[in-house]
């Protein structure tokens, strides 16, 4: 009886075995390359604890009061400096809105722009959490395949020329989740030009830009934008701690005021306690040094995963070597369905969890790929897990 009452938009992802797969990632008998978790040993836990204590000691009862929807000016001004360094953009603190992680920022964008059956473009594959957020507004998705250097711009232009009123293009240009691909400079420029030509917004979702292990940085889309078309989303989740649930939205003046009223309707304000503790942390610690430390650790882990994939992965499987971020993307021959494979054999034979590609495409049409996370496992788990996974894959690939 209950299910028949549920809005159809909430049933969209129910058939994908997502809950089962995520339950397996938490089972200690498995090695999980599934969730995109940071390595908890790198969290500055003692310093954060001190910052929370400072916040309670210095702010008095005011810390427990209601505060602004946008978030404290002091922290927004520190984010101004952060994005100047990492995105090379000059923004005003009044154009920044603090959100409950990047996830809420994505939801705010969906809620602001989308009527049912509105058209949007997403990358194929893309971040599952963004699809879940957008699904709630029942858009019509147009999916553009991601190549080693970002979205296929020919396909994008084809879609734009055939579809009037695309509201926005959602992209993760740096170390994309899940492929790890980074958009080339030429494609970034093309995307900005297309936004002008066909009149759409670009949602630049960018939680991984700080985490580069090799290669050359490209300008952010927000940096290339001259016309207020880029909405930039980022977060402290990957560079400080995801438990702080703190991300932000940066947009032009007009959008900022609309986003603020949408945000107020959602949750009135972000957690002032968390924001003031982050502000204290940034006041007393050098975030760039901390980011450099994270890069050193993850560079090694990324290398360890890629070296083991080079050593063990069957020849019929390929992967993209990322220059940063959290993920490696593996492709099997087209006839394979990595959801069934995981549930039917990989879990039993290898005790390894990955995220099947089906969940990461709006179209749910591509099934022969999967995502591996390398930041959360130990070096031993990376070596053992990739070896066992490769052996299990070898066995099924030989049968094909």
Ligand X SMILES: Cc1ncc(COP(=O)(O)O)c(C=O)c1O
Q: Which of residues 322-341 bind ligand X (CB under 6 A)?
A: none
DSSP 104-166: HHHHHHHHHHPPTT-EEEEEES--HHHHHHHHTT-PEEEEEEEETTEE-HHHHHHHHHHSS-E
Mark 59-98 with x for binding to ligand X (rule: CB under 6 A) and - for no binding: ----------------------------------------
- Does 235 bind ligand X (CB under 6 A)? Our answer is yes
Q: Please report whether residue 25 would count as binding ligand X according to CB under 6 A.
A: no
Q: Is 38 in the site for ligand X (CB under 6 A)?
A: no
Min. distance of Cβ 205 from ligand X in angstroms? 5
Is residue 168 within 8 A of residue 319, CB to CB? The reply is: no
CA distances in angstroms from 317 to 37, 147, 175, 314, 331, listed in the order given? 25, 17, 21, 6, 6
* 51: number of Cβ within 10 Å: 20
Cβ proximity to ligand X, 350 vs 355, nearer residue: 355
Q: Cβ 351 to ligand X, closest distance in Å?
A: 24
What one-character-per-residue DSSP string does 242-295 give? GGG-EEEEE--HHHHHHHHHHHHHHHSS--HHHHHHHHHHHHHS-HHHHHHHHH
If the CB atoms of residues 33 and 336 are measured against ligand X, the closer one turns out to be 33
What residue has token string 């703190």? 246
Pick the closer one to ligand X by CB: 181 or 392.
181
Taking the least distance from each CB to ligand X, the nearer of 230 and 392 is 230
Number of helices followed by number of strands (H, E) in the chain? 15, 14
Nearest approach in angstroms of CB 127 to ligand X is 4
Count residues near ligand X (CB under 6 A): 14
| Nearest distance, CB of residue 362 and ligand X, angstroms | 14
Contact call for residue 237 and ligand X (CB under 6 A): yes
**Residue (202 or 392) nearer to ligand X, CB:** 202
Binding mask 190-229 for ligand X (x = CB under 6 A): ---------------x-x----------------------
Q: Closest distance between ligand X and the C-beta of residue 237, in Å?
A: 3
- Give the whole-angstrom CA distance, residue 53 versus residue 45: 12
Strand order in the sheet with 201-205: 96-100, 246-250, 230-235, 201-205, 166-171, 119-124, 140-147, 150-151
Q: Write down the least CB distance from residue 348 to ligand X, Å.
A: 28
For the bound state, the minimum distance from the C-beta of residue 345 to ligand X, rounded and expressed in Å, comes to 27
In the bound complex, what is the minimum distance in angstroms from residue 326's beta carbon to ligand X?
A: 7
Of 181-189, 209-217, 235-243, 383-391, the window that binds ligand X (rule: CB under 6 A) is: 235-243
For 40, 119, 182, 187, 240, the CA distances from 149, given in Å and listed in that order, are: 30, 24, 5, 8, 28
Give the containing element (helix H, strand E) for 204: strand 201-205
Q: How far apart are CA 229 and CA 251, in angstroms?
A: 8
- What residues line the site for ligand X (CB under 6 A)? 36, 101-103, 127, 129, 172, 177, 205, 207, 235, 237, 242, 247
């Amino acid at each position: 009886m209950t299910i028949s009452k549920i809005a159809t938009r909430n049933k969209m992802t129910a058939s994908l075995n997502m809950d089962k797969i995520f339950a397996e990632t938490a089972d200690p008998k498995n090695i999980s390359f599934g969730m995109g978790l940071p390595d908890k040993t790198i969290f500055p836990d003692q310093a954060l604890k001190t910052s929370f204590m400072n916040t309670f000691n210095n702010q008095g009862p005011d810390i427990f009061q209601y505060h602004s929807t946008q978030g404290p000016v002091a922290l927004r001004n520190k984010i101004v400096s952060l994005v100047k360094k990492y995105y090379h953009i000059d923004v005003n603190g009044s154009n920044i809105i603090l959100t409950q992680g990047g996830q809420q920022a994505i939801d705010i964008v969906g809620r602001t722009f989308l009527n049912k059956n509105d058209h949007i473009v997403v990358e194929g594959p893309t971040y599952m959490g963004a699809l879940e957020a957008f699904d709630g507004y029942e858009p019509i998705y147009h999916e553009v395949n991601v190549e080693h250097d970002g979205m296929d711009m020919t396909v994008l232009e084809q879609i734009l020329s055939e579809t009037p009123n695309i509201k926005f293009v959602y992209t993760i240009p740096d170390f994309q989740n899940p492929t790890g691909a980074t958009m080339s400079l030429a494609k970034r420029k093309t995307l900005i030009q297309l936004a002008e030509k066909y009149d759409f917004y670009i949602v630049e979702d960018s939680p991984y830009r700080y985490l580069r292990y090799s290669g050359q940085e490209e300008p952010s889309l927000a940096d290339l934008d001259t016309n207020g078309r880029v909405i930039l989303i980022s977060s402290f989740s990957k560079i400080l701690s995801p438990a702080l649930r703190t991300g932000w939205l940066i947009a032009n003046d007009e959008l900022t005021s609309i986003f603020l009223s949408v945000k107020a309707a959602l949750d009135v304000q972000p957690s002032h306690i968390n924001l003031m503790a982050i502000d204290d942390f940034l006041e007393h610690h050098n975030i760039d040094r901390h980011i450099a430390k994270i890069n050193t650790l993850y560079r090694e882990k990324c290398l360890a995963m890629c070296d083991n994939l080079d050593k063990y992965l069957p020849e019929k499987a390929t992967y993209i070597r990322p220059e940063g971020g959290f993920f490696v993307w593996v492709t099997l021959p087209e006839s394979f369905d990595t959801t069934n494979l995981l549930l039917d054999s990989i879990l039993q034979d290898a005790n390894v969890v990955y995220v099947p590609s089906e969940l990461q495409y709006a179209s749910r049409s591509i099934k022969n790929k999967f995502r591996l996370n390398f930041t959360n496992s130990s070096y031993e788990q990376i070596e053992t897990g990739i070896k066992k996974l490769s052996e299990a894959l070898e066995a099924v690939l030989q049968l094909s």
